[in-house]
């Protein structure tokens, strides 16, 4: 087995035992990148030079018996909406095509501090708006399981990178499913943590009240290890939570005896792919076999979630993206006066989906419409939050499908925004409620594509999600590597 096929936990063990060096790990993954990235198109920017320096430094320090973090020397990729000092950060937009931030995002600081080599910045939907990574201004990223299909989005680059063994770990951001949906479509594990669990400082904002950073990895244990690194209070983010960070990785291995699990009726809906419904029910049965108690539960306001989300997120986005006006940084068009500078810069610098959302958001916040749209959507958000509060009085974990269908074809939904929006239908309400939500692999569809199951817990109960996921992984007959695209042959160029 190649090093690039190993999980982060396995690499960490081998590195700590000095069986392998960080540079060897680096070499294995970069060779893999050279091999598959031309087909998948994951990276907007590769930062291999600085990553190699980091790996070499880790090896040096380990030789000197310095105490290192378990993930020191384990490579990681980050979505291109995290600010990186001195390194281009584009949000996959023409607007920021050559923008170089003067500072590191809080999570990037943390990765650097413990010596995780950052291999590069991954492709995404422009400003994280989209569900297929097709909205990147630069190129589309392909799904490693089928090169004719999308990897999901908006963190499609990060998900594809992990699924194809280009990195063992990646960071994404999730505003309304942007970690969990691509994780499901690429057959890996991805967590949207509790809102406020991870500092947003340096994450280029899409919708501030919904944006949250999370890990993508081959399994729950790897996700928990990376979450331990990035979680925690940051005084630079006023919405970050002051609660202490537990040892999430210790949750794997705990029993499920007595854990109350609610099967969300709305997330195994009749119009979902029947195989996905079946896969979720099968996994629920596995949880029951392991001591959990399963009951169906309804989140009655789920139907309004998508509409509320597509008012709140664009409203905040319209405001957050106002700063891209061509005056200080980023793309700047020629203008005869200040008005034409503004309108040409924004007209030329943003792609169609971003403009669509800016227009929706601007409309929804305008005088005379505010009450009917933004305010109404905020009221729905409160109702949805209450749905969850009520459900968590009786349940510890809520489960359902991550997506209604497996990965769709490139271009299939690109011209139909409403259809595209529906692919996030299961991911939106927990984002609106701010609760943690994990997508894990749920086996393969008859089409050969991966499916995902989503597990949701009450705020700050990420540990419980890892615990349930680990139990399910143990029941599965194949190691995580086999459930990914790593060993696939005869499928496209891979």
Q: Would you tell me which residues interact with another protein (CB under 8 A)?
A: 82-83, 89, 91, 96, 99, 101-103, 105, 200-205, 207-209, 235-239, 315-316, 318-319, 322-323, 325, 327-329, 337-338, 342, 362, 365-367, 370, 374
Cα–Cα nearest to 310, from 356, 371, 346, 260: 356
Label residues 200-217 b or e (16+ Cβ within 10 Å = b): bbbbbbbbbbbbbbbbbb
Structure tokens at 173: 């951001």
Nearest CA to 316 among 210, 240, 200, 237?
Answer: 210
366 is catalytic: no
* Min dist. Cβ of residue 246 to another protein (A): 23
Give the active site residue among 79, 94, 121, 277.
79
- Composition of the chain by helix, strand, coil, percent to 5: 45, 15, 45
Query: To the nearest whole angstrom, how small is the minimum distance from the Cβ of residue 238 to another protein?
Result: 5
Question: Per the residue annotation, which of 178, 224, 240, 315 is the catalytic one?
Answer: 178
32-49 per-residue burial string, b: 16 or more CB within 10 A, e: under 16 = bbeebbeebbbbbebbbe
Write down the catalytic residue from 28, 132, 136, 154: 154
φ, ψ (nearest 5 deg) of residue 284: -60, -40
Instruction: Report the nearest approach of another protein to the CB of residue 365 (Å).
Output: 4
- HSE value, Cβ hemisphere, 13 Å, CA-based, for 24: 12
Between 65 and 337, CB nearer to another protein: 337
Residue of 419, 459, 407, 7 whose CA lies nearest to 184:
407
Tell me which residue of 480, 469, 485, 23 sits closest to 249, measured CA to CA: 469
CA 316 to chain centre: 20
Minimum CB separation of residue 460 from another protein in Å reads 17
Number of Cβ within a 10 Å radius of residue 491: 12
Nearest distance from residue 237's CB to another protein, in Å?
5
Cβ proximity to another protein: between 337 and 393 the closer is 337
**Residue 202 CB, nearest distance to another protein (Å)?**
4
**Nearer to another protein (CB atom), residue 345 or residue 454:** 345
Q: Which is nearer to another protein, 32 or 200 (CB)?
A: 200
Whose Cβ is closer to another protein: residue 100's or residue 488's? 100
Query: Least distance to another protein from the beta carbon of 160, Å?
Result: 24
In the bound state with another protein, the residue whose beta carbon lies nearer, of 336 and 415, is 336
Catalogue the E-assigned strands of 218-264: 260-264
Residue pair 156/123 in contact by the 8 Å Cβ criterion:
yes
Distance CA 392, CA 301 (A): 15
- At residue 25, the 3 state secondary structure works out as helix
Q: Is residue 178 annotated as part of the catalytic site, yes or no?
A: yes
Spatial distance between the Cα atoms of 304 and 383, rounded to a whole number of angstroms: 10
**Nearer of residues 337 and 489 to another protein, judged by Cβ:** 337
Token reading at 219: 């399994």
- For residues 48 and 46, give the distance between their C-alpha atoms in angstroms, rounded to a whole number: 6
Which residues are tagged catalytic? 79, 154, 178
């Amino acid at each position: 087995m190649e090093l690039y096929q190993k999980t982060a936990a396995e690499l960490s063990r081998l590195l700590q035992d000095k069986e392998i060096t960080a540079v060897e790990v680096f070499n294995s993954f970069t060779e893999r990148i050279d091999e598959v990235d031309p087909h998948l198109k994951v990276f907007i920017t590769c930062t291999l030079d600085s990553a190699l320096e980091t790996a070499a430094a880790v090896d040096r320090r380990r030789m000197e018996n310095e105490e290192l973090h378990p993930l020191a020397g384990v490579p990681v990729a980050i979505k291109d909406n995290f600010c990186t000092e001195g390194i281009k950060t584009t949000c996959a937009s023409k607007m920021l095509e050559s923008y170089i931030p003067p500072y590191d995002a809080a999570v990037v600081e943390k990765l650097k501090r413990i010596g995780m080599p950052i291999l590069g910045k991954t492709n995404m939907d422009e400003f994280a708006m989209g569900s297929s990574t097709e909205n990147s201004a630069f190129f589309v990223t392909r799904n490693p399981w089928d090169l004719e299909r999308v990897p999901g989005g908006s963190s499609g680059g990060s998900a594809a990178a992990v699924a194809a063994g280009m990195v063992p770990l990646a960071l994404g951001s999730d505003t309304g499913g942007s970690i969990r949906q691509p994780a499901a479509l690429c057959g890996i594990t991805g967590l949207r943590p509790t809102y406020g669990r991870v500092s947003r400082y340096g994450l280029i904002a899409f919708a501030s009240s919904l944006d949250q950073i999370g890990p993508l990895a081959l399994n729950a244990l790897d996700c928990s290890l990376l979450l331990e690194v990035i979680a925690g209070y940051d005084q630079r983010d006023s919405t970050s939570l002051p609660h202490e960070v537990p040892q999430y990785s210790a949750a794997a291995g705990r029993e499920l005896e007595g854990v109350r699990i609610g099967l969300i009726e709305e997330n195994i809906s009749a119009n979902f792919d029947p195989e996905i419904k079946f896969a979720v029910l099968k996994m629920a049965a596995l949880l029951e076999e392991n001591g959990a108690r399963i009951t169906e539960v309804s989140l009655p306001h789920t139907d309004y979630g998508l509409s509320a989300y597509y008012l709140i997120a664009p409203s905040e986005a319209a405001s957050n993206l106002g700063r891209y006006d061509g005056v200080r940084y980023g793309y700047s068009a020629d203008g005869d006066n200040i008005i034409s500078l503004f309108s040409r810069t924004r007209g030329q610098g943003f792609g169609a989906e971003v403009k669509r959302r800016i227009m929706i958001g601007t409309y929804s916040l305008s005088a005379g419409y505010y009450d009917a749209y933004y305010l109404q959507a905020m009221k729905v958000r409160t109702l949805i939050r209450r749905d969850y509060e009520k459900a968590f009085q009786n349940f510890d974990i809520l489960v359902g499908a991550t997506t209604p269908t497996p990965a769709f074809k490139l271009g299939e939904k690109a011209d139909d925004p409403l259809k595209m929006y529906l692919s996030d239908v299961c991911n939106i309400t927990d984002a609106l409620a701010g609760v943690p939500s994990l997508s894990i692999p749920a086996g393969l569809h008859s089409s050969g594509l991966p499916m995902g199951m989503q597990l949701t817990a009450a705020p700050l109960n990420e540990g419980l999600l890892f615990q349930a996921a680990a139990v399910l992984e143990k029941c599965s007959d194949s190691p995580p590597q086999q459930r990914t695209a790593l060993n696939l042959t005869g499928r496209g160029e891979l």
